[in-house]
Structure formats: C-alpha cells, structure tokens
Amino acid sequence: MTRKQRRLTMIAAAGSVLAVAVGLILFALNDRIVFFQSPSDIVAGGLPDGQRIRLGGLVAEGSVQRGENAQVRFSVTDTVETVDVVYVGLLPDLFREGQGVVTEGVLTPDGIFRADNVLAKHDENYMPKEVADALKGKGVWQGEQ
C-alpha cells in the first residue's frame, strides 16, 4: 500500500465508526429519551398511547393505598390536576405523602399511570428539580429560601 492508500484506509475506518456512532446517538435520542410531564400536561392530553414518560409532582396527601405483594396506588398532583399511579415494587426510603416524587412509566388508556420506577433522592431536603420547576410554574412552591 502506498502512503496515500494507508491514510485513506485509516480515514475511511475512522469515518465509518464515527458515522455509525452518530447514527446510533441520533436514533437513540429520538427513540430512547423520556419526556417529563406534570399532571396538568397529562390531563391536557395529546400523549400518544404507550409512550414512556416521566411524571412528576407531589404525592397527594392521603392517597397512598398499599395492597398485597408490594402493589401501591397513589396520586401525583401539581395541586391543579391529579393523576392516579399504580406501582408494584419497593418505594424509595424517602417516599412520603406531600413530598416530591418522579415516576416513570406508561399512561394506560383508562387514565391511570402505570409506573415501573419511582424516584426520590436520598436527601431529606430534596425536591426533584423537574418537580420544583413545574410547581414553581404553577406558583405553588416557592423553593427552600
């Protein structure tokens, strides 16, 4: 191989790896990201069926019902609208009524949110950032200071 050929081979190899990577990243960014929604967004509708979303808000007071085999029902509210959530699994240590929470899952056609993941940070002062922003937008929560 001549010097030029060598260089071309290298550039072609690098280019194809890069192209594949960029393609994967773009595809994944279209397909594998999860949008954050507040209960108001969900009630307003317009979500395609079966799309994974993150639902964030406050756990409504008095809404938590525990069933057998770690099934939990609770409502997530932004104080304007409320969405019922069903989750099977262990809740995070800091999951409490009246506290901020982020759940991830799918909205069923009957309007119940089926979560497969419930997040609460491991800090007692924590308000998930997205929840804080959404609540601030509704003028409900003023922040810590």
Residues that bind another protein (CB under 8 A): 1, 3, 6, 9-10, 13-14, 17-18, 20-21, 24-25, 27-29, 31-36, 54, 66, 68-70, 72, 88-91, 93-94, 104, 121-125, 128-130, 133
Task: Choose between 33 and 49: whose C-beta lies nearer to another protein.
Answer: 33
What minimum distance in Å lies between the beta carbon of 54 and another protein? Answer: 6
CB of 115 to another protein, least distance (A): 13
Question: Which is closer to another protein, CB of 121 or CB of 138?
Answer: 121
94, 120 Cβ separation under 8 angstroms? yes
How far apart CA 109 and CA 141 sit, in angstroms, is 30
d(CA 142, CA 128): 14
CA gap 56, 86 in Å, rounded: 14
What backbone torsions phi and psi does residue 139 show, to the nearest 5 degrees?
Answer: 70, 25
Amino acid at 49: D
Select 54 or 76, whichever has its Cβ closest to another protein: 54
Q: Which is nearer to another protein, 75 or 95 (CB)?
A: 95
Neighbouring C-alpha atoms within 13 Å toward the C-beta of 39: 21
Structure tokens at 105: 């899952």
Residue nearer to another protein on the CB measure, 3 or 139: 3
**CB of residue 90 to another protein, shortest distance in Å:** 3
The two structure tokens encoding residue 42: 């969900």
User: In the bound complex, what is the minimum distance in angstroms from residue 12's beta carbon to another protein?
Assistant: 9
